[in-house]
Amino acid sequence: MSASAAGVVSRTNGKSRIDSGYRMSVSEPLTDGHGRRIEDLRVSVTDRCNFRCQYCMPAEGLPWLERAEILSFDEIERLVALFARMGVHAVRLTGGEPLVRRDFPRLLRMLAAIEELQDLAITTNGFRLERDAAALVAAAGSSQRPGGGVRFNVSVDSLQRDRFYALTRRDALDQVMRGLACLAQYPQAHPIKVNAVALRGFTEDEVPAFVELARHSAYEVRFIEFMPLDADRAWTSDQVLTGAELHAMVDALHPLEPLEREPSATARVYRFSDGRGRIGFISSVSEPFCADCNRIRLTADGRLRTCLFSLNETDLRGPLREGADDHELERLVRDAVWRKELKHQIGEPGFIQPARTMSAIGG
Ligand code: 5AD
Ligand code: SF4
């Protein structure tokens, strides 16, 4: 028996704690069959959304999950705590649109109390940030976590009102920009990222305005290549405006210098040579970063997905509701993670688009 299993004191975040045998059994890092350590969990808290972005959802929406199918806050907390004990230290809450889930700040407060979590983040379309920014920042700050912050990625695909409307099918650009401004008041919420999905024939015209935003605001702008996760299944490779093309356009306006890439980061981040602002490129399609992917995903209905493009998923909700103990859940998780896909196969002959759209997976 190891020292830890015998119940010795370990240190986490500078605090002493007696390890139980159980903690010992889950302290093994969560690793896949390709040697990648899994440290980042994306949790979709709802499949619903108040936008209808063209590249994600049809105008009429999608058949939403029933309430009973969605994990409760207690169920999410239990699973996140389990993952955290296996070495997942970063959790991102997504949707659909996470801020449409009723009482969402309460969930954030519950998760912020999980001491192993170092990094809490939210991906949102920003529509309800004006209403919720203060509550979210307060909820995240209620814990002892170092920094007590929560980081935000806010999706903004156009900085022109009519084009924003055309793309999201909501006339909401002003509302989103006001939400961003509210958030920016809180130092704990920085750095704030603004994410734009890059679409050929659309985003080219947006580049100068996004460059200005990146240079003259506190936001870090990032372009994300369009991926085949749209409900309409209309994705074709020629609609992907690549990170390299965007980089060239931006660099021609204002020269860029690369910043060092953080391990497992999705974005290649640059600073403007004159020191004003940063901009990033997430080239998931043209330059996949699968080799050091450390991410897994939990859907709103409690399925574990080991890749955005997984064709299989592992049900955790069923066992959870049937009374599985943490050991059983841990075994299910480890088995699923062990089989994590080596890489996505977009652009290869055998590629199959998963049945779930981005809104039902969690970005
Ligand atoms: N390709 C790339 N990004 C997408 N998103 C949604 N659908 C797609 C897609 N098909 C983005 C959203 C948001 C995040 C959750 O994922 O714009 O930034
Ligand atoms: Fe909603 Fe995000 Fe999908 Fe747009 S991309 S419809 S904001 S879930």
Provide the residue ranges of all domains of the chain, joining segments of one domain with +: 29-361
Q: Does residue 61 register a pLDDT over 80?
A: yes
Residue whose token pair is 């024939």: 201
Query: Does residue 97's CB lie within 6 angstroms of at least one atom of ligand 2?
Result: yes
Question: pLDDT band at 20, cuts 50/70/90?
Answer: very low
Question: pLDDT band at 356, cuts 50/70/90?
Answer: confident
The ligand placed nearest to the CA atom of residue 94 is 1
Question: pLDDT band at 1, cuts 50/70/90?
Answer: very low
Read off the pLDDT of each residue in 295-307 and give the average, rounded to a whole number: 95
Q: Report CA(48)–ligand 2 centroid distance (Å).
A: 9
Residue nearest to atom 13 of ligand 1 (CA): 155
| Number of the ligand 2 atom closest to the C-alpha atom of 197 | 5
Q: Do residues 332 and 316 make contact, with C-beta atoms less than 8 angstroms apart?
A: yes
Q: Does residue 15 register a pLDDT over 50?
A: no
Give the number of other Cβ atoms within 10 Å of residue 168's Cβ.
26
| Number of the ligand 1 atom closest to the C-alpha atom of 94 | 15
Query: Does residue 19's CB lie within 6 angstroms of at least one atom of ligand 1?
Result: no
Q: Does residue 146 register a pLDDT over 70?
A: no
Share of the chain above pLDDT 70, in %: 91
Question: pLDDT band at 109, cuts 50/70/90?
Answer: very high
Residue whose token pair is 């994705």: 235
Q: Tokens for 299?
A: 């859907």
Read off the pLDDT of each residue in 55-63 and give the average, rounded to a whole number: 92
Residue nearest to atom 18 of ligand 1 (CA): 155
What confidence tens digit (pLDDT) does each residue in 225-277 have? 999 888 888 888 999 999 999 999 999 999 999 999 888 899 999 999 999 99
What is d(CA 221, CA 196) in angstroms, rounded to the nearest whole number? Answer: 8
Report phi then psi at 194, rounded to 5: -110, 120
Q: What is the pTM of this model?
A: 0.91
Q: Quick one: pLDDT at residue 120?
A: 95
More confident residue, 83 or 16: 83
Q: Does residue 5 register a pLDDT over 60?
A: no
What confidence tens digit (pLDDT) does each residue in 303-345 have? 999 888 888 899 999 999 999 999 999 999 999 999 888 888 8
For CA atoms 231, 236, 241, 242, the dihedral sign is positive
Q: Does residue 358 register a pLDDT over 90?
A: no
Q: Report CA(56)–ligand 1 centroid distance (Å).
A: 7
Q: Report CA(181)–ligand 2 centroid distance (Å).
A: 20
Report phi then psi at 21, rounded to 5: -55, -40
29-361 sits in which CATH class?
Answer: alpha beta
Read off the pLDDT of each residue in 56-61 and give the average, rounded to a whole number: 92
CA nearest to 307, candidates 27, 111, 36, 87: 36
DSSP string, 219-284: EEEEEEE--S--TT----GGGB--HHHHHHHHHHHS-EEEPPPPTT-SSEEEEETTS--EEEEE-T
Pure H helices in 1-149: 21-26, 73-85, 104-112, 129-140
Read off the pLDDT of each residue in 344-351 and give the average, rounded to a whole number: 84
Share of the chain above pLDDT 90, in %: 73
Pure H helices in the chain: 21-26, 73-85, 104-112, 129-140, 161-168, 173-184, 207-216, 243-253, 317-321, 326-338, 358-361
Question: pLDDT band at 17, cuts 50/70/90?
Answer: very low
CA nearest to 46, candidates 74, 84, 76, 85: 76
| Number of the ligand 2 atom closest to the C-alpha atom of 96 | 8
Q: What's the chain's average pLDDT?
A: 89
Residue nearest to atom 16 of ligand 1 (CA): 363
DSSP 3: T
Cα 3 from chain centre: 37
Distance between terminal CA atoms of the chain?
41
Q: Report CA(363)–ligand 2 centroid distance (Å).
A: 9
CA-to-CA separations, 260 to 175, 210, 269, 273, 330, in angstroms, rounded: 34, 22, 8, 14, 35
Which has the minimum average pLDDT: 1-5, 152-156, 344-348, 358-362? 1-5
Q: Tokens for 11?
A: 């240190």
Give the number of other Cβ atoms within 10 Å of residue 260's Cβ.
6
More confident residue, 27 or 167: 167
Question: pLDDT band at 11, cuts 50/70/90?
Answer: very low
More confident residue, 86 or 309: 86
Query: Does residue 336's CB lie within 6 angstroms of at least one atom of ligand 2?
Result: no
